[in-house]
Every structure is written in structure tokens, then in C-alpha cells.
Structure 1
């Protein structure tokens, strides 16, 4: 299978999205904060039907151009600000990787609640988000960061397939702690 991400100069799919595909059967998926579509393209090539949303019209235009050039029927790019917390459809898999930290902190609870409500029973949420902790103060000036245990607490009653709060490296080389979670809705 040809790697469309390299063909179009995009970064590879997020490693957690790649790992989640080992667990999740292809289904209707939502890529929240898709940027130019690195995760959406990866998921599409693995049989998922992907709605890819981002608040940046340029990013969506880039992804739409790739979709058009490749004749991809399984990606629907849409300009959408996830802070609205009104997804409007149900999904078997919702991925939100390195996106929450760019939104208004007062909207995070509503966004997570909407994600949970719009996940089908037995479906999955994947979240990777920066943290700000005493041991590892966040070096980036993100509008929002998670505190220890905050993300897992939001998913009480879900099966945490994977959960950690490990150190990671941003693409710019900054070291910071990330909360990484793949949770299955009962």
C-alpha cells in the first residue's frame, strides 16, 4: 500500500493512531483537529470511513485536494471548530491527538462530553494531550494542559485499553508530559 502521507509531504500518522488500528476494527471514524490529514489518510487506507475536521480552512483545503487527486471516497474533510462541542453524528472511533491543548480551557469538558456521547457502544476514544505537572512544567504556552489523573477521571466507567502519563517529545523537540488514552465505551 503506497504511503500517501509521504507522497504529499505530510508527517506520518500519529504513533498512537497506528497502534489503535491494531485493536479497532475499521468503522466510521472522526479525526478531530485533523490538520492536513495525516491520520485521516492512514485510517482511510486501513478501511475506516473518516470524517476529518479542523478549524483551519487551509488545512481542510489541503486535505480536500489530496482526496480529490486520489479519488478517495472514504474521507470527508470539513471545516469545524471542535470547541463547538456539537459533533452531530455517532462514530465507532474518535481520535483527538495533540489537539485539546489548543482549545479554550473552558470548552474542554464540553468537548470530552460530546465525544463520549457521540461514541457508539463498544466504540473507542483516543486522546493524546499535553500535561503540566510539578515534575514537568509544560514548556509550551498552550491554552490548555491536563493535570495528573484528569483525563482518566473524565472516562470513569469506560474500559481504559491504554492509559499513561509519560514523557514525550513534540515535533519541535520540546520535552513534556503527555496523557495518552485509548478508552472503550461499554
Structure 2
């Protein structure tokens, strides 16, 4: 199966239903995300329920597609990383989060930054990626995914279609949280992913 390109997007009609109920239509598990090719198991996310071309993704690849999601600023930050595709950023971030959990650190960047030892290679990689938010703020005037989502909504349709080119090296760094109905379900996701990795080896 071909990996789909992951472009920063804003599509509010896809999350309005979720924002009120925290529920989604059931999606049969396919095993892997169509954007990063990582297994997502029971934690698959889906796009617009009304779409004829439904795309299923892992939670980390879902976030860049919905920058206007109500909780996005608590879940991710914009970074400048032109040499790496968004799907690769997501795979690397997922591995950093799993490595943090394996050594007893929380995946939430704000928490791990307060307590991590400099000797943690997972934390050092996390911090290096997070520091790229300074570079994106110098270019865009913000590191807020929500603000970028609002700007994308204001683009004329032809410009919106060219957003990958217009945004260049802007990427989204997941921060170790995924909120559903106001509750962070990301630690449970990581636990399930870690268990699946152990079972597969």
C-alpha cells in the first residue's frame, strides 16, 4: 500500500461532531496508518464522516490534518524542520514517547522537560525537536497550530491547495497528549502500542 502524503491542514467540519460528544463512528482496524505505516491498532482516527474517501490514520498523523481542532495547542506545537517529512516526524516522535515511557518518564513534553535527566537520550531528542519551534515562530510569528489552522481557513481555495509549498518546512510536533472529550487518552494509547511491540518481537 502506498503511503499518503501528510500535509498540514484545517478541516473543522470533521471535528465539530467529535468536539461535542467525544465519540466517533466505529472504524474496522486496518493495522497500519495510511500516512506513517505504523500500527495503530484500536486507536485509529478517521477524517470527515461524510467523506466518500474515508482516510484512517494513527492519532499522531491525525493531528497535522486538523490544526483547527479545539485542543490542538495542548497537543502539539509547530516546528521548523524542512529536511524531514511530517510522517517521519510522527514516527520519530512516537518512538521518543515510547522510549520515555520505557524509562519511566511521562510522554507529555511539559512534564518530561521538568523532570528528565540530561542523560536521557529520548529527552534530548525530544528537546532538540521542540527547540525548532523557535525557528518556526521567527518565520510565521507563531508556534500555535490553532493560529495556523485559522490562517489556512482564510486562504483562497487555490492557495489552500498549494499549502504544502507555501508552508515549506513547517511541521507539527506532537507533545505527548491526545485529548478526547477533555480527557488525555494518549498514555493509554502508548501503553497499548508498547504492549503490541513486545508481543510482535
TM-score bucket (shorter structure): under 0.3
Length-normalised TM-score, structure 2: 0.25
Length-normalised TM-score, structure 1: 0.27
Counting helix residues as a fraction of each chain, which structure ranks higher? 2
